[in-house]
Each structure stands twice: as C-alpha cells, then as structure tokens.
Chains A and B, each alone.
Chain A
Amino acid sequence: MLLGTKNELEQVLAQALASGGDFAEVFLERRWSSSVGLEDERVERVHSGLDQGAGIRLLAGEGSIYVYTNDISASGLLRAATDAATALEHRFLEPKKLTLSVKNRKKNDARLNDFGVDLAVELVQAANKGARLASDKVRQVMVRYRSLDQKIQIANSLGNLVSDYHSRNTLIVHVVAADGGTVQTGYESLGSYNDYSMFTKDKAVEMATVSARRALILLEARPAPAGRMPVVLAGEAGGTMIHEACGHGLEADIVGKGMSVYAGKLGKQVASKLVTVVDDPTLSGKYGSYTYDDEGTPAQKTVLIRNGILENYLYDLNWARRHGVKPTGNGRRQSFQFRPIPRMSNTYLAAGTTPPGDIIMATENGLLVKRMGGGQVNPATGDFVFEVAEGYVIKDGRVAYPVRGATLTGNGSKVLLAVDLVGTDLGFAIGTCGKDGQGVPVSDAQPTIRIPDLVVGGVL
C-alpha cells in the first residue's frame, strides 16, 4: 500500500472517534502536477510540484470537524486525529477498535502520467504556430498544458478502504487579435480523464485555429443587442446554462439548507416535458469523470430531472445521512485541503428530437449562442448570468451577423419550464466549477435548445 497501511488507518479512525462522533474518515493524497506554458513565442513557466497531505473528518449530529496536515507519517495522522477529536469535545477518551475492509486497490505504483515535458513542449509550440498562421491580426498566443496525477486513499468508519488514482490533462489556447484600436480574444480548451490519447499536435493546431477564428470573428462583430428576445443555444455551445441554471440548485447541501428553488419539489414538474437532466461521472474519459467519488462511494449515473419531473438531488455522505437517503457518489473535493461537498461531475441536458437547423429556422428574430463562457448563479433565487463567447443575431430564421459583449441573464427554474425546442445534437465543454472556495473539474453538455424569452445584456 502506498500511503497508509490498513492497520495504521484503523488506529487513526479509532483515535478520531475517541471523544464521540457518528462518522470518521481519513483522506490521504499525493498529487503531482506539471505544466508547460508558451507566450510571446517562447516556452516558459515550465513548472512542477508534489503536494501531499491528509484530511481527517468527523461528523457528529449535524456538525462536522475537518483537520488537515501535510504530515502523512503514522504519528502525523494520529496527531491530526487527536486534534479533530479534541476540537469536537475538548476532552479525550480511549479509542475503540475498528476494522477496515479493502474495497478497491490499484497496484499502479509508478507515476501515472508519462506524458513527458518534451511532448508537452511540442504540443504548445504546434498550437502557437497554428494560431499565428491563422491571420496577421493575431497579436499574442498563450498556450498552457497541464497534467495532474492524484493518488488517493480513503478510509472511513463505515469500514471502507478505497485506493484510487486520477490523472487529468488539459490544454488551453488563448489568442489575442487586434485591428486598429479593437482587441478581442478567442479561447479553446480540451480536458480528459485517465486518457491523453487525444493530445496530439494535430489536435493542438485545430484548437489554435478555432480559437484564432473566434477572436477574428469578434473583431468584425457588432455590439450585442440589449433587451429581451428568443435565444437559441447551439449544441456546440457547451452546458454552462444547465450547470448554472439548474445543476447547483440540485446539490443536496444547498437543498438541505433550504437555499434552493428546487427544495421540496421532488416528484413535481420543474421543467418543460422536453427536458431531462442527468449527472454521470461514469462516462468514459470525460473531464468530470471518476470511478469513486472523494468519499469512496462508487460513481453512478443520476437522473435529476426526467421529462420535466424532478427525480433526485446530488448527494454526498453527509447530506445523504442527514436526509436518510443513499449517497449518489457526488461527494467531491479539490484536494486533501478541503472537506467533500455535493458537486456535479459531467452534467447534461439529454438530446431531443428536433434537427438543430430547424430550430434556427423556426426562430424569426433572436440570438444564437455558439459558445458559452463562464457563469454564476444565486441558487436561492435561481437568478443566473453567463457570458456568450461566440454569438450571432438571428434574422428571419437565418444566422445574420456576429455580435460581441453579450451576456444572458434569467431565472433557472423559469428558463427550464420555458424551453420549447430541443435538438438532436449534444456537445460537451469542460470547466473548473467553483463552490465554497474549491475548484473541481467538470464537464457539461446540452443539445441545441431554444428559450423563447431571455434578457440579453448588450450596449444601447
């Protein structure tokens, strides 16, 4: 075993529970990161790092204690366990014996990601060249390749001991184009889980070309219209809207605190009949995929909304215990520095039956969103915003001209009820989802959909 032995972990858990508590857990991690950057035609910021540590969590009633340390020696873990127990009760009793059973064990002992620095250097150089060739209006190209390998071990007082590894790679290409005094940017990213076969030079060039094209289109674009109008979100736009407008409000901690518009609505209609929303970490190779969540619960596909009816929430162990339901395998954390909370993985609005081209033709005037950027939601009210990275005005059922500076705002529950056309296509985009100061890798997707009425933020 790599990190802690079964015997050591049993002692640590017993120690953590010595002054009481309903549940104890130890999460051990060693993570290697490396990245290669390129900017201004130069390879730079070739960085690497090793971070290790352990988080010890204690649940008692509705309260929880979390202590973490970089000292993962047997004595370091015991000290952290004692700190946790003392923080709970300010007194300390004799530990009771506890036995773990090994659930899963990866033998892989070497560093997992052997995608070397030399390959990464070739990749960022290929992307730079691709973007520079696209146009002489390209002023700056920034490329960054990152890899992250995590070995984790989770033991808890339910008797589970899970060992796992995660390996994630990302490539990000950022292009700055300028024409006269106007500066615009284009962006493209690729991320994968336990698989880096798609990180080829050809793919890097393709991404660079797409991101240069986005910046160039924006240079030509007119300012976005302002006001209320029908909005068509293309399948290739990514699923930011689903993530923000609905996903966060279905996380059990937000629901459990009564802070979600979806609290108390299980079995009720919360979306149009055309809408089915799924969270699925078991999809192969997607950026938000995993085998076990960060509490050792096996990953599973969860249907959240089926044909408009709310079916389930996303649960971690803590909130599943508090609500007396089964965890859905969505207890995730950024690293040992954080306690696990309910999070999305790969979240999508399932494909429908209308060809995407027909959706645009059926829309007399409106906005077509071909790529979404970041967004944010207030789960208590359901109000969200997200930015449009590539957008076009639709006139008489046809794509008329590109626009820039558009952002959409609306209310998640109202928007889901209003969706009136759902396409057959399904396009994924990757992102890092931030919540409570923790970032976790996610992907989201949706087919082409139409929302009859949304506020577009533009300039008068």
Chain B
Amino acid sequence: MNNENRVVRSCLQLAEKAGADAAEAYFLHQDNLTIEVRNNKLETLERSKDRGVGIRVFKSGSFGYTFTSDLGSTALKEAVELALKGAIYSNLDVDARLPEQQPFDLSLAQFDCDIENTTLEEKQALALTIEKAALDTDSRVSMTERAVYEENSNTVLLANSCGLQLNYRTNFCGGYIWVVAEDNGDVQTGAGVAYRPQLSQFDPVAIGEEAALKAVQLLGADSIATQRLALVLPSKVATQFLGILAAMLSAEAAQKERSLFADRLGQQVASKAVTIIDDGSLKGEINTAPADGEGTSSQRTIVMEQGMLCSFLHNSHTAAKEGTVSTGNGVRGSFKTPPEVGPTNMFFAPGVSTENDLIQSVDKGLYVFNLMGVHTANPISGDFSLGVTGLLIEKGRLTRPVRQVMLAGNILDFLNQIQAVASDLRFYLGFGSPALLVGALTISGD
C-alpha cells in the first residue's frame, strides 16, 4: 500500500505544482485469475496483475483526464501535464467539480478471504465440476466449448485535493460454461453462468446443469410463423433489457436530450408492475462498494416506482447541472476512464408470483432462453431487434423448441407491456431481475 499511496500523493502534488485548480487521483490494482478447462483437462490458466493511476485535473472551469500504468516519476509528471492540457482544450463547463466530502460505510467493501486462500488446484477442480455436471445431466450433451472458473480482486485508492482519502479492497468469483448438445444430426448450444462475492455461495453444479438443460431442450428447434406472442423472460434474459435501459437512465443522456426519458420525470413511463432500483450499498452483490469512482458514498436510488420515473442516475457533474446531489453513480470500469454516469447494482424489484405461475397464465407465448444481438440495441431511440431461441408456451405449458425468430420493438413499449413480475430476483454481475411476463410482442419468423 505504501507505494500506491506515494503514487497518489505524488500525482496530487504534481497537479498543484503545475497550476491545477483541483485534482483527483484514482489508483486501482486488479488481480485476475481465469482457469479454463475442456474435456476434463486444463486448457488455459491466466493470471494477471494490472495496476495504474487515473488523474483528473481541473483548470479554469473544465477538466482533463489521463491514465498511466508506467508509475515512474517521469511518466507521472507527463501524465499530469497531459491532463492539464486536456482541461485547456475542453470548453468551459462550470458544473465540472469534485464531490463534497462525506462519510463512508467501509463494511460495504466486501472481501472474501476464502477466495484468496483457496489453492489453484481446488479452483481448477471447481471448473472441472462445472463441466462434469453438464456432461452428467444428459447424455446428449456432446461437447464443452469451455468451462471456466474466474475471480477478480480490486484494491482502490482514491484521493483528491479537497482532502478525500479512501482505500478499500473487494473481490468476487464466478464461472461459466458453454456446451453443445447433439441428437439426430441437430446441434444446439446452452450456457450457464454465475458470479458471487463469496466462494461459499458459488455453486458449480448449478452452472453446468443450467447449460446442459438449455442445450438439450432446444434440440429439434425450428422457426415458427410470424405472430404476436406473450413472452416469459427468465431472470437472466430479463437483466439484458436492463443493460439497454441503464444508458437511457443516465442524467447525462437526459440532459443532452439523447434519452427517451428526457423531460419525463414524474411521469408514468412503464406499466405499474415495473419498479427499478439502483443500489450500490446492497450487501452481497458484485458492484457493492463504500463509494462510487469519485468518492460519493454508495446509496439506494429508486429509479422507477410502479412505472413512474422517479430519478435519473447522477454523478457529481450531472448533479451540479441540475442543482441536485449525486446518486453515487459516478462509476469507473478501470483506472483508464474518469467517473462516468452508470449503474451499480440495478434491478427490477421482485413481485410475489413464481416463474411457473407466469408460464401457466399464458395461453400462447414464448419462454425465452437466449437473446442474440443485444449489443446492437439503440440506446437513444430505444429500438431493438433481437434473435431469439426458446420454448413455445401453449395453454400454460412449455411445448416445442423455437429458433431463428426475431423480436423487434421499442424499449418504451416493452416497459409498458410488462404484465407481471415474479419473486425470483437473481443478479448477473451488476444487473438483477426476477422472471418477467411481457404482453404480446411481434415475433418474426416464417
């Protein structure tokens, strides 16, 4: 920690000497481990240590940003000068600022010593267990593309010229598998995935079984005629829509009129079944931390309540523009980016029914296994058009497998069509959802 402290202090001193009005240094040390197995053998083991510092320098009403993983004194000096130059080239923005000082709840720094102390052999065994569970589930599972155990640990040091000093460690572990099932010349794939902040909560068998069941149930899948169908989205699939929504719920997007939700605070924008919450202080989730990437303490923000838009996500910059306070959403993926507005742990609040209740309530619909092309959804217009695989629902029962059909629509229609929300809230990295029932949407096929 001494060396890291020295780097952070040195950046702030250099910035002051160079004539900055204010400055911030964010040091991140990331350790990653990935163990990939296939055919009951080690395929790849990856170990990495990535560390560096990101420097924000404020000058005359704007700021510049630079990062460096060369921590030598020459490199740090050059980095501070480049950041200052960035501030000078940027147009004036009186709202650019550092957050106010505030207390932190350091118990939100989740660090599991089991993850750190478990041997490589035991971790490799976890990856092998994922694969074995998949192969044991059904004899038609013919191949594993890969089965993976991985873990990540972060050491954060954040300091600024207003006196902020914060340091903490977090870690988490997880795994995934991708398998192929074959029967009568037909080939289908299935995936399973889970990430947890504690090794004791990590269930490798469940990951393998999930992938196997998905692949096997899709065998014999075919396209169906173009029609309007109700959709049941299991938790993992539903979280992918939050990925599209998160960008639209950023205050920056709203302020710059590139969000469909701009000027709609206090209005009904979704069905009454929809409540969306962002919570960086939610214990036991992956993105939980004492503070966001610029030192605003983590908090719970109700973004939508029973379909009404209650709040956008703010960092201190967007908050200043509206004379409000940051919601603790100045997030950073690494030391290479400044704190941009983004979600922490964002989720659809759970309801009371079960996923099975949702399926049984559908006369004609589709239970969705997998979406393709989610990254092509347009976060500004809200239009999406996705490839879908799943199982047809007829009279409340799952009947035959479906592939090569498309789901097209707009995220606003999607939100308004959510009819019911189940109780099985589950998180996949930063996004969580229970199963959702979404009222008839167009499925394009033959």
User: What residues of chain A have their CB less than 8 Å away from a CB belonging to chain B?
Assistant: 30, 36, 39-40, 42-53, 62-70, 83, 87, 117-118, 121, 139-140, 142, 176, 178, 183-185, 224, 226-228, 257-259, 261, 337, 339, 373-376, 378, 380-381, 383-387, 404-407, 409-411, 434, 455-460
Contact = CB atoms under 8 A, between A and B. Distances in A.
A140 B383 contact: no
Contact of B44 (A66, A176, A337): A66
A61 to B, nearest CB: 8
A373 B381 CA distance: 15
Contact of A259 (B43, B180, B226): B180
Given A68-B49, A184-B381, A455-B223, A47 B64 contact: yes
Contact of B406 (A39, A380, A409): A409
A384 B381 CA distance: 23
B174 interface: no
A46 B49 contact: no
B199 interface: no
A337 B79 CA distance: 21
Interface residues of B, number: 75
Contacts of B383: 404-405
B45 A40 contact: no
A378 B226 contact: no
B120 A87 contact: yes
Q: Name the residue in B45, B62, B65, B375 with the highest tally of chain A Cβ atoms < 10 Å from its Cβ.
A: B45
Contacts of B385: 385, 387, 405-407, 457-458
A259 B372 contact: no
Contacts of A384: 372, 387
Given A385-B373, A460-B442, A140 B256 contact: yes
Interface in B160-202: 180, 187-189
Given A43-B91, A50-B67, A458-B408, A385 B48 contact: no
5 contacts: A50-B75, A67-B46, A385-B387, A406-B408, A455-B406
B308 to A, nearest CB: 19
A68 B42 contact: no
B86 A48 contact: yes
B188 A460 contact: no
B70 interface: yes
Q: Name the residue in A70, A224, A406 with the highest tally of chain B Cβ atoms < 10 Å from its Cβ.
A: A70
Interface in B386-421: 386-387, 403-409
B220 interface: no
Contacts of A184: 381
Contact of B143 (A43, A44, A258, A376): A258
Contact of A381 (B187, B226, B373, B408): B187
Interface string B85-96: 111011101000
A319 to B, nearest CB: 12
B77 interface: no
Contact of B404 (A50, A52, A410): A410
A337 B50 contact: yes
Main secondary structure of the interface of B (DSSP, over half): strand
Given A226-B444, A378-B189, A460-B442, A387 B372 contact: no
A228 B79 CA distance: 55
Contacts of A405: 383, 385, 408-409
Interface string B73-103: 0010011001101110111010000000000
Given A66-B45, A404-B383, A455 B408 contact: no
Contacts of A52: 69-70
B155 interface: no
Contacts of A118: 89
B9 interface: no
A376 B370 CA distance: 12
B336 interface: yes
A121 B42 contact: no
Contacts of B360: none
A369 to B, nearest CB: 13
Contacts of B187: 261, 380-381
Given A63-B42, A68-B49, A407 B256 contact: no
A291 to B, nearest CB: 25
B41 A62 contact: yes
A204 to B, nearest CB: 17
Nearest to A373: B376
B52 interface: yes
Given A39-B256, A66-B45, A374 B375 contact: yes
Contacts of B373: 374-376, 385-387, 407
B260 A183 contact: yes
Nearest to A59: B44
Q: Name the residue in A139, A183, A384 with the highest tally of chain B Cβ atoms < 10 Å from its Cβ.
A: A183
B51 interface: yes
B268 interface: no
B446 interface: yes
B47 interface: yes
A53 B69 contact: yes
Given A117-B85, A458-B442, A383 B372 contact: yes
Nearest to B48: A68
A381 B188 contact: yes
Contacts of A185: 378, 380-381
B376 A374 contact: yes
B227 interface: yes
A339 B52 CA distance: 20
B145 A375 contact: no
A378 B256 CA distance: 36
A70 B69 contact: yes
B272 interface: no
A51 B408 contact: no
A139 B257 contact: yes
A380 to B, nearest CB: 5
A87 B51 contact: no
A118 B378 CA distance: 31
Nearest to B67: A49
B376 A183 contact: no
Given A183-B381, A385-B387, 19 more contacts: A42-B91, A44-B90, A44-B91, A45-B65, A46-B65, A50-B69, A53-B50, A63-B42, A66-B45, A83-B47, A117-B89, A142-B258, A185-B380, A226-B226, A261-B187, A381-B403, A387-B376, A407-B387, A434-B375
